[in-house]
Amino acid sequence: MIPNNIEPDILYEDNHIIIVNKRAGEIVQGDSSGDEPLSVKVARYIAMRDSKPGNAFIGVPHRLDRPVSGIALFAKTSKALERMNALFRNGEVEKIYWAIVANKPNPSSGELRHFIVRNQDQNKSYAYDVPKEGAKEAILRYRLLSSGDRYHLLEILLLTGRHHQIRCQLSKIGCPIKGDLKYGAPRSNPDGGISLHARSIRFKHPVKENEIYVEAPVPDDNLWRVLAQTL
């Protein structure tokens, strides 16, 4: 019998990869906080479920910020990890995010192109309209999906993978993500997370080469449900 508190919310699994729906506040990989990462929890769960001696192999081909919820993909074999790393590196993985913002963007859809500088000491990124020394180009596309009384739901297609890219670029155009104090939101969310959700992922399977498409249900939260219910 596997305890409920260690069973991850599995969205897809085969012999090579596993995709789970991460909760806001969980870390994907170990960091200086010392908190147990999701990668370790998933490895322990698989080892217990499959009665493996010791821990199962779990590789981390991409990361998701701690306050963000949604799709987290792990490799179950070293071959899958190597190939998934290449897919991410070569931009062959389509990642869609949903974000809740208080300010409606104008225009309601478009492409954002900035130059991002990461400040390591602050663990924060800054977006500029023109190239700067040490900056990396950051590109995303967004569109308005729905609006409520006070908040709006945006869909974001990430075209580059920069540090805090979505958070930084939306803040730059005056649309900080709900709960994201670091990038200009006026108040935090009750759970300490931010209203940014890795909604879907699409890629060619690293071994079998068929197309994989997975969606992550939105967090169990009234505002998310209201904004997403018409879609």
Q: What is the pTM of this model?
A: 0.94
CB 207 within 8 A of CB 126: no
* Residue 150: per-residue pLDDT: 95
pLDDT score of 6? 65
> What percent of the chain clears pLDDT 90, i.e. is strictly above it?
87
Chain-centroid distance of CA 184 in Å reads 19
Q: Is the pLDDT of residue 231 over 50?
A: yes
The rounded distance, in Å, linking the Cα atoms of 29 and 61 is 10
What is the model's pLDDT at position 1?
45
Measured over the CA atoms of residue 50, residue 55, residue 61 and residue 66, the dihedral's sign is positive
CB 105 within 8 A of CB 144: yes
Which among 23, 24, 28, 48 has a CA at the least distance from the CA of 40?
28
Tens digit of pLDDT for each residue in 84-98? Answer: 999 999 999 999 999
How many whole angstroms separate alpha carbon 98 and alpha carbon 228? Answer: 10
Burial class (CB in 10 A: 0-12, 13-18, 19+), 31: exposed
pLDDT band of residue 55 (cuts 50, 70, 90) is confident
Please, which residues bridge with residue 95 across strands? 201
pLDDT at 53: 80
Do 206 and 16 contact (CB within 8 A), yes or no? yes
Least confident among 23-27, 51-55, 184-188: 51-55
Q: How much is the average pLDDT of 183-194?
A: 95
DSSP-derived letter for residue 181 is G
pLDDT reading at 158 higher than 60: yes
CB 50 within 8 A of CB 4: no
Sequence length of the chain is 231
In terms of DSSP bridges, do strands 94-101 and 69-75 run parallel, antiparallel, or are they unpaired?
unpaired
Task: Give the model's confidence band at 31: pLDDT under 50 very low, under 70 low, under 90 confident, else very high.
Answer: confident
Write the CA distances from 139 to 121, 136, 200, integer angstroms: 24, 10, 18
pLDDT band at 182 (very low <50, low <70, confident <90, very high): very high
**CATH number for region 4-228:** 3.30.2350.10
Show the tokens assigned to 187.
């108040």
Extended beta strands in 88-128, E state: 94-101, 109-119, 124-128
**What is the average per-residue pLDDT within 148-168?**
95
Residue 53 CA to residue 43 CA, distance in Å, equals: 12
What are 104-147's pLDDT values in tens digits?
A: 999 999 999 999 999 999 999 999 999 999 999 999 999 999 99
Average pLDDT for the chain: 93
- Indicate the pLDDT class of residue 52, thresholds 50, 70 and 90: confident
Residue 226's nearest CA partner among 150, 148, 155 is 148
Confidence of residue 4 (pLDDT cuts 50, 70, 90): low
